[in-house]
Amino acid sequence: MSEIVRPLRKKTPLALEVNQVHKRFGDNEVLKGISLQAHHGEVISILGSSGSGKSTFLRCINFLEIADQGTFIINGEEIRQTHDRHGRQHPTDWKQIERIRSRLGMVFQGFNLWSHRTILENVIEAPVHVLNQDKYEVTEQAEELLQKVGLYHKRHEYPSFLSGGQQQRAAIARALCINPKLMLFDEPTSALDPELVGEVLKVIRDLADEGRTMLLVTHEMNFARDVSDHVVFMHQGLIEEEGSPDRIFNHPNSERCRQFTSQFR
Ligand code: ADP
Ligand code: MG
């Protein structure tokens, strides 16, 4: 196994600090107390079998799901929440949520591009129509981002004329166009044909090398091992083991973690 070249965990300020996140759907307790910190510039991969709660955890971080319990400090701001009489919590200030969400770049498994808008229109949509930024300036930035992900020449095409890999690269450009402080990737290559995975991983690797802060749910074990500062292995709604890539992939304490990572080799 090759040596891990990423530096040890960076001691920069925290981009994300979540504590004791719980979430249930009916009787199904999907998250049973998850805590995680991400420093600025850090790449954290989240591994775990299907159903272990990875997506729900990411969705709780950008409040697409509301956690039943847990505290969230995102870019230094604690999310204001209150508890109802059943002990469940709710955000009290949706303007705060919107503001924080507007600096979170989310990339899903499916590309979720607007089919009736061109690639460029997709990329500028949120900054122009949600963040009310100047359309001319955003367009310039969007064109630079499309250049960076290798899609400048496709900017006036509609999504259906692009391959899955190109659509996902466009989705990454769109997430970058809001100047996110934190990027959340949920299995960004899982829906792609195998021959298209590499081009998307390359874009994500470039973002890691640039020092972007990222949480990445993935089943690409070699990629996670190479690109991450820290790796989290989830099992049944809990963090079963976490540590450096070397620890998780070469010397895990947990037998489950060892079995999980070895099945993808
Ligand atoms: P993973 O991403 O690790 O595969 P998920 O977070 O998607 O796991 O799902 C964890 C569990 O939560 C699964 O049992 C799933 O069926 C359940 N679940 C996820 N979202 C919902 C929902 N909106 N309603 C009910 N159950 C859900
Ligand atoms: Mg998932």
Q: Which ligand is nearest to the CA of 34?
A: 1
Ligand 1: residues with CB < 6 A are 25, 28, 30, 48, 50-56
Q: Tens of pLDDT along 44-90?
A: 999 999 999 999 999 999 999 999 999 999 999 999 999 888 878 88
Residue 50: inside a domain: yes
pLDDT, tens digit, 9 for 90 and up, residues 137-190: 999 999 999 999 999 999 999 999 999 999 999 999 999 999 999 999 999 999
Q: Is residue 28 part of a domain?
A: no
Ligand 2 centroid to 65 CA: how many Å? 13
Q: For ligand 1, atom 14, name the residue with the nearest CA.
A: 51
CA of residue 32 relative to chain centroid, distance: 20
Ligand 2 centre to CA of 44 (Å) is 16
C-alpha atoms less than 13 angstroms from C-alpha of 40 in its C-beta half-sphere? 8
Angle between helices 164-176 and 135-148 in degrees, nearest 10: 130
Residue 133 main-chain phi, psi, to 5 deg: -85, 160
Question: Residue 143: inside a domain, yes or no?
Answer: yes
| Ligand (nearest to CA of 49) | 1
- DSSP code, position 17: E
Residue 15 placed within a domain: no
Has this prediction a pTM greater than 0.90? yes
Range of the domain at 129: 46-66+101-263
Q: Is residue 38 assigned to a domain?
A: no
Return the residue whose CA atom lies nearest to atom 23 of ligand 1.
25
Q: What pLDDT score does 9 carry?
A: 60
Q: Is residue 12 part of a domain?
A: no
Q: How confident is the model at residue 226 (pLDDT cuts 50, 70, 90)?
A: very high
- Cα 72 to chain centroid distance, Å, stands at 16
For a mutational test of ligand 1's pocket, the pick from 23, 27, 28, 219, i.e. the residue with the most ligand atoms closer than 8 A to its C-beta, is 28
247 sits in the region (left: phi over 0; alpha: psi -120 to 50; else beta) called: alpha
Indicate whether 23 belongs to any domain. Answer: no
Q: CB burial class (10 A; 0-12, 13-18, 19+) of residue 7?
A: exposed
pLDDT for 158: 98
pLDDT digits (tens, 9 = 90+) for 19-49: 999 999 999 999 999 999 999 999 999 999 9
Tell me whether residue 244 is in a domain: yes
236 alpha carbon, closest ligand: 1
Number of domains in the chain: 1
Write the DSSP symbol of residue 222.
Answer: H
- CATH of residue 122's domain is 3.40.50.300
